[in-house]
Amino acid sequence: MLQQLTFRQLKNALEETQHLPRTLYSEATSSDNWRRIREDVNYSEFWRALEKQAAELIENPVRSPLFTEFTLFGDTGNRAVFQTQRDHLYAGIHAFSMLAMTEDKQEWKSGLENTIWNVCNEYTWVLPAHVGLYHNDYPNGIWDQPAPPRETVDLLSGMTAFTLAETVYLLKERLHPWVVHRVKEEIDKRIFQVYFNNPTPQNWELKTNNWPAVCSASIGATAIYMIEDSEKLAGMLWRVIGVLRNYFSGFDEQGATPEGPAYWQFGFSYFVYFAELLKERTHGQISLLSEEKVERIAQFPQFCMLTGGKVVNFSDSPDEVTLNTGLIQRLKQYVPSLQLPNEEYHLKPVPGNWLDSTRLMLWSSSHTESLASTGSDERVQEQIFTGNQWVISKVRDSRGGTTAFAAKGGHNEEPHNHNDLGHFIIHVDGQNILADLGLGLYTKQYFQPSYRYEMINAGSHGHSVPIIDGCRQGFGKSYRSEIVYSQISEDNVQIVMDLTKAYACLSLEGLTREFIWKRPINETPQLIITDKALFTNRPESFQEVFISSVQPQETGSGRLQMNSVTLVYDPEQWELEIEHIFVDSQYKTGTPFYRIVLNRTQVEREIISEFRFEMSEIA
């Protein structure tokens, strides 16, 4: 319905239902529901942590972040110091509001009121990393100016407004009226006036990544809670709808996003939260989740889930992602074929997020029913996502193990981009053996291309792709791949990518990479990669690079074993180097990987390279 909805339909639905009795976030208005999740033994650890956090906040009130902590990002690029202190300050909103919904205690009420008051006193709700984001030369020309840039709306300010509006809606009869008034006043000033009183587009309105979903959905949800005038609300939500349509255009026709499963969850969950509130506000007349493309988008993460908690983690994604089971169950009401994830992929509620944690618990039915996996019993699950040029194939064997292959093309200016066209992953029984390094450490510098693509996380030298005559892949939308052939047959998946335009190598005339993933019944899968390069002049060098999470062991001439995967190559054509590297990310420090470099011993104008990855069981 998102794509077909007209402004008149939206306006009429809001006006026709304006004076009808309604309940927003109806699951959260039921005391029985809160009692159920408070008494659920599966959430007992969460509630203990929440009570402990609340007690600490009461005993040791948190100070606001310092000015020097705010400006640290501009001075050094560090985001963590401010954001850690900010998270401590805002923690009381989530902790005290959830506790207050389960028990009418004065200390929870006072703690929530004090936290809300302190948050409303903040100079801005926007993170330092996002200040001045609308500047074309961001992040330059901001922190060295005599005055701060104008206010904007970012992920955190939108989520803060959404959280405050929702908690005040649910608890307004118990909160001091001045606190309720202050919330409305600050949301109007920081969100509504900034976004709706100025037609200048926000930076994120032009994007198709998680930002337009989280920001616009948060603004729209906040408006549903706070704006009674249906005509005014219609105009506000129409701008939100336009942004969400743009967000949907970032998914290909098969439902894939180049951001991967972690950012899929971040963006799409907020779209779902907004859609369900709009459905309640219009008494079911507008249901944005009743759309064919929603079904395909909802199924994307189940292709990305492998085993052992691992996922297909191209771009800025960790290799382990857990999913909000409440979100999945809500989507399953619209997409009955959706599979509930295995327990190793279940996200646990965390104290620091009211919006996600309450829906995780309240949107889950009884715990036994809700968390029973409905994983597929099919031997093979696979899909070629032609729009974003991903291929994923998962094969189950007779003993219940899983072997998987994934590869990607696309272009090198995707959301949370890595220069990784032609890169691939091989997964065997809970381990990404041929691996993706994942996201780097988020700093100001990490999001500046001149620095970012020198880092091994994001540069093509940290991916399983060739280095052509000393040239790595370039950054920008013009650096792209094309799928020139693809086929799924009974025994094989075959895909051929033209990678010529991925490189700015003057002598390169053509480069293709062919993947043949062989997975016949009763045979162990294997992957054959064939690269064909043609040059106008003989190149000085040609390297093939493979990234392994497992230390390779030479088991024979031209054989390199990585646990249950063995790389087979022609030792007459290649000289082997193995580099032991340690990689930092947003979540981990010093994770070991191995960079396998094969240097071509004889380079000619035409180079054909074949590599075979054999799978075997390890005792």
User: Number of helices (H) and strands (E), helices first, in the chain?
Assistant: 18, 19
d(CA 619, CA 608): 35
Complete DSSP assignment for 134-196: TSTTTTTTTTTSSSPPPP---HHHHHHHHHHHHHHHHHTTTS-HHHHHHHHHHHIIIIIHHHH
Structural tokens at position 332: 């399953």
Q: What is the pLDDT of residues 80-117, one digit of tens each?
A: 999 999 999 999 999 999 999 999 999 999 999 999 99
Edge-first strand listing for the sheet containing 559-562 = 482-488, 492-498, 508-518, 526-535, 606-615, 565-568, 559-562, 553-556
The pLDDT assigned to 619 comes to: 40
pLDDT band at 364, cuts 50/70/90? very high
pTM here? 0.95
59: helix, strand or coil: helix
284: helix, strand or coil: coil
Cα distance between the two ends of the chain:
52
pLDDT at 464 over 60: yes
| Mean local confidence (pLDDT), 479-484 | 98
Which amino acid belongs to residue 618? I
pLDDT band at 375, cuts 50/70/90? low
| Per-residue three-class SS string for 486-514 | EEECCCEEEEEEECHHHECCCCEEEEEEE
The pLDDT assigned to 371 comes to: 47
pLDDT band at 367, cuts 50/70/90? very low
d(CA 424, CA 422): 7
**Residues 467 and 545 sit within 8 Å (Cβ to Cβ):** yes
Q: What is the pLDDT of residues 219-230, one digit of tens each?
A: 999 999 999 999
Structural tokens at position 597: 């470099």
Q: What is the pLDDT of residues 198-222, one digit of tens each?
A: 888 999 999 999 999 999 999 999 9
| Mean pLDDT, the chain, whole residue set | 94
d(CA 309, CA 263): 16
C-beta atoms surrounding 335 within 10 Å: 17
pLDDT at 406 over 70: yes
Helix, strand and coil content of the chain, in percent to the nearest 5, comes to 40, 20, 40
| Mean local confidence (pLDDT), 277-305 | 96
pLDDT band at 366, cuts 50/70/90? low
The pLDDT assigned to 97 comes to: 98
String of b and e for 273-291 (b: at least 16 CB within 10 Å)?
bbbbbbbbbbeebbbbbeb
| Mean local confidence (pLDDT), 292-299 | 95
- What domains can be seen in the chain, in order of their start residue? 7-370 (1.50.10.100), 380-615 (2.70.98.70)
Q: What is the pLDDT of residues 121-163, one digit of tens each?
A: 999 999 999 998 777 677 778 888 898 888 899 999 999 999 9
